[in-house]
Structure 1
């Protein structure tokens, strides 16, 4: 098992220095980051102090105190990546955990909400604030005209965090900022023992090394066979060149939301039809893509040969997969489900050919059009929509229930680290040289390989793990002052009795969101629920996708959700709620 060891050669000022090799998943993302910060994320919290007379709660000193507390609780935040004897390793210095280090905390101001919302993208597309020596930092921007408000930007390298980690970081930061009582924290050695590589937390780790090797080999072989079957595909209109995959992405973002009433009906109808919104989302994105492609074909923007080719193509999608529920149960129960480190793999699902429905082989001149394209009813009936959503559900169930699920899931990381390393080395080698080659346009169609339509994930209700009011009341199991344990309450020692002395609400989260440094050619659609609203956010490479096309597609996804899940379809099956 890969564990943390005390590095005798790296002792400094009589403080301990711990190290361990990066795991298979971690090393791939560490190399990604060297490619101009690929996969870095920025967490944006807009906070408000409810007491105008409490000037200290949002002060610089209290923010620094909060950051130091956060590092003691989650020491991976101050880890560093170094190559030692030919092996990429994490190093955690006791001194760095206890002190404020250069570049970790910066302060500034903003003049408007629009400027505050643009700031994360500027951080991702500008000079990278992180490095192998600094894997996390925070930036504080104060509104010039509102002393009770605060914008917090937590910048993180993906090799030390994932979606579950991000919720823990946000919740712990705001709770610590709003509380005068410092919750006790375990020793550095104990905290590090919770964040060994995820492959060492697999349930199969209890088997002998020989049996594990056989299982890994079989799992990898199954993974290769599975991926070999997923071929072809298409995505929304874009511009790819011969240098796209060697050029850092221009990270862009677009967000749209449903009303609380619409959100409740959509989620309710998913439950009635025994699917999740994540199952439904992929079918929605496919019919949305059909509409924007149909619109272009009718206008003459797509040739007849390309249209004929696209009709036959499946839709391939992929995204991150949270592995924590499938890892060691004892570790997860002690807070591992919310521990700050990376514990993900990837899924890849496929839906069949384009959703043309009754319009297939129909003369374009005779089509019934709504906003320039055939309506949803003509492209994909409600019953066929449910069928496609259930295709995704079935693929997911087969994947999760496979006896070698963990080994198959980890098979996706084998070979990825080397590809990421080579891409990073090539990019770093080009820095300081001649102007980047823009490349020449390429046509991805008639490609025998695999084309992803988009990536994405559905995170569920974020308010359940990142509440909106702080300090958290002692009646909430997520609170450090609650005497109840919780799988995602990582980094805290559960007290013997609840402490209600700090239950008064002092800070509220007015808004929150995450921003992603995209990979080259990435198109990533995420779904979350917060404040009883369902939100769709898309992150994309602006060098490849036009803003207008992305917005058109996402709005079509939203319209599709309202048509299929926001109204009654009693004529085709179950009677469901109406708007």
Structure 2
């Protein structure tokens, strides 16, 4: 469990119930009030404040993030573009447009109690105020890609309850085609949204940045966005939580059946393998990354297609074989890995003006044997396991009770996160009292449920980035991840710019280095051998 600093509850706002928006209309400012925000003609309205409680999923990520910023997301994109396209005035205008369209990016978090944590969004009074606030959350640096990522992952936390998103741009040399090479780091807390939101945002960002609009026209668009949203009552500025978007639970019998199903599904999660850990005073995350060129990537995709599996399914099997080659310990226990499940297809329909910045992820597990049968050649075993991963993934996504499982899992994760947060705060204050020991003389034995590693498999990202919309910008590299807790590890796999990318983000101080490095080499060797 991550150590969390004390969060001081704030009491500046009135409490509201979940999914209820409360606005506080302030009279439109006078000309004097607009000093520093532009001419009176740019004033839209008085500030409008919206607030809603975080849902269970959002809370589970929020409480982990306090203090050290565990799970704070980043998306790095390297690109070639003229210096004119990345001038601060232009980037600021694009950033302001998107912050108005997606209010969670410009929101804050207020915690009053462990079950009363809220998003609070205050609309800008004018387009100039929107530009000014966007500029305050935009930074230009002179740093390489690796320096940007290392600083975000291992340095002081960039984000906070007061700043849930941030942009960093840097220029790092000249490309072969004579254009400057730029790096952008898009930063956002995980309780704001998920990978789908992050990549959709990046596509929209570059579509605006690389458009034919002038800087002045983009600033006019900031004004138009503000006027469209705030010149009249706008009742859903903050997107609803995952739990409120899921279809209704049904009658009491349905709820009982769902709870039984959820309990049984949890009992089936059996895994007995983990990387050996070591204690360290300081976490240090590294992200070794390998990109396969376009020709090699096409061959890998062709091989997977010929065997009826996706690259994502193959990567589960790659990790399984890599671990089996590393250790023969506990062959009687299976290997369990976990991954995120996109829940957006299962949600109720939402209003047309709704933002895509919201959290909508569930989880599923892939379980394999931890041995290679001697009666089969290892290539056959590999493809059998890749097909098993495909079947398990498909079964998880198409399971009839996926909605109830997701809701109950979110509820359980929210409950645990609140309990752990309270315990951490009490330990920090020196007021924690350990629970009474159980009086049950014969606790029920249960199978181990240890996960070896998590996989974030993003698929073909070239399907999300509409490169034709920004022909004067050439995206050439992408790295993504999040700040980790001590002993964190996550493997990423995706296709971008015609290349297959594999990266392993992990705390190099939290594990036996020889074991992790051998596992990583085994993964790359298995890719060469089987794909």
Q: Are 1:70 and 2:98 counterparts?
A: yes
Deviations 1:311-333 (A, max 9, x none): 222010112111112223x449x
1:229 corresponds to: 268
Residue 280 (structure 1) shift = 2.0
Q: Are 1:92 and 2:124 counterparts?
A: no
Structure 2 stretches of 5 or more lacking a match?
1-16, 30-45, 431-444
Distance 1:91 1:193 in 2: 10
Q: Which is worse superposed, 259-268 or 63-72?
A: 259-268
Kept in 2, the 8 Å contact 1:317–1:350? The answer is yes
1:451 corresponds to: 450
2:148 corresponds to: 119
Q: 3-state SS of the aligned residue for 2:287?
A: strand
Kept in 2, the 8 Å contact 1:121–1:515? The answer is no
Q: Are 1:509 and 2:471 counterparts?
A: no
Q: Which is worse superposed, 8-17 or 218-227?
A: 8-17
Distance 2:448 2:396 in 1: 22
2:163 corresponds to: 134
When residues 79 and 351 of structure 1 are mapped into structure 2, their CA distance, relative to the original with a 3 A threshold, is same
Residue 195 of structure 1 is aligned with which of 239, 249, 259? 239
Distance 2:206 2:428 in 1: 39
Distance 1:36 1:10 in 2: 36
1:440 corresponds to: none
Q: Are 1:311 and 2:331 counterparts?
A: yes
2:507 corresponds to: 541
Kept in 2, the 8 Å contact 1:457–1:526? The answer is yes
Residue 421 (structure 1) shift = 3.8
Kept in 2, the 8 Å contact 1:15–1:95? The answer is yes
Kept in 2, the 8 Å contact 1:248–1:519? The answer is no
Kept in 2, the 8 Å contact 1:256–1:536? The answer is yes
Structure 1 stretches of 5 or more lacking a match?
294-306, 360-376, 434-445, 472-504, 567-579
When residues 513 and 468 of structure 1 are mapped into structure 2, their CA distance, relative to the original with a 3 A threshold, is farther
Residue 7 of structure 1 is aligned with which of 5, 8, 23? 23
1:518 corresponds to: 484
Distance 2:422 2:140 in 1: 33
Q: 3-state SS of the aligned residue for 1:340?
A: coil
Residue 86 of structure 2 is aligned with which of 31, 53, 58? 58
Deviations 1:126-165 (A, max 9, x none): 1111111111111222337788332211111000021100
Residue 84 (structure 1) shift = 4.7
- Tell me the TM-score normalised to structure 1 length: 0.72
Distance 1:456 1:425 in 2: 29
2:411 corresponds to: 414
Distance 1:431 1:65 in 2: 42
Kept in 1, the 8 Å contact 2:173–2:181? The answer is no
Residue 453 (structure 1) shift = 1.0
Deviations 1:45-97 (A, max 9, x none): 223224xxxx5422111121111111012111011111257611111110288
Distance 2:98 2:513 in 1: 37
Residue 173 (structure 1) shift = 1.5
Q: Are 1:41 and 2:73 counterparts?
A: yes
CA RMSD of aligned residues (A): 3.3
When residues 26 and 216 of structure 1 are mapped into structure 2, their CA distance, relative to the original with a 3 A threshold, is farther
Distance 1:547 1:432 in 2: 35
Kept in 1, the 8 Å contact 2:174–2:181? The answer is no
When residues 57 and 396 of structure 1 are mapped into structure 2, their CA distance, relative to the original with a 3 A threshold, is closer
Q: Are 1:18 and 2:38 counterparts?
A: no
Q: 3-state SS of the aligned residue for 2:314?
A: helix
Residue 340 of structure 1 is aligned with which of 357, 361, 369? 357
Q: Which is worse superposed, 456-465 or 85-94?
A: 85-94
When residues 511 and 225 of structure 1 are mapped into structure 2, their CA distance, relative to the original with a 3 A threshold, is same
When residues 418 and 121 of structure 1 are mapped into structure 2, their CA distance, relative to the original with a 3 A threshold, is farther
When residues 106 and 534 of structure 1 are mapped into structure 2, their CA distance, relative to the original with a 3 A threshold, is same
Residue 37 (structure 1) shift = 0.4
Q: 3-state SS of the aligned residue for 1:225?
A: helix
Residue 11 (structure 1) shift = 9.3
2:195 corresponds to: 163
- Tell me the TM-score normalised to structure 2 length: 0.78
Q: 3-state SS of the aligned residue for 1:311?
A: coil
1:577 corresponds to: none
Q: How many residue pairs align between the two structures? A: 465
When residues 193 and 219 of structure 1 are mapped into structure 2, their CA distance, relative to the original with a 3 A threshold, is farther
Distance 1:456 1:172 in 2: 26
Q: 3-state SS of the aligned residue for 2:149?
A: helix
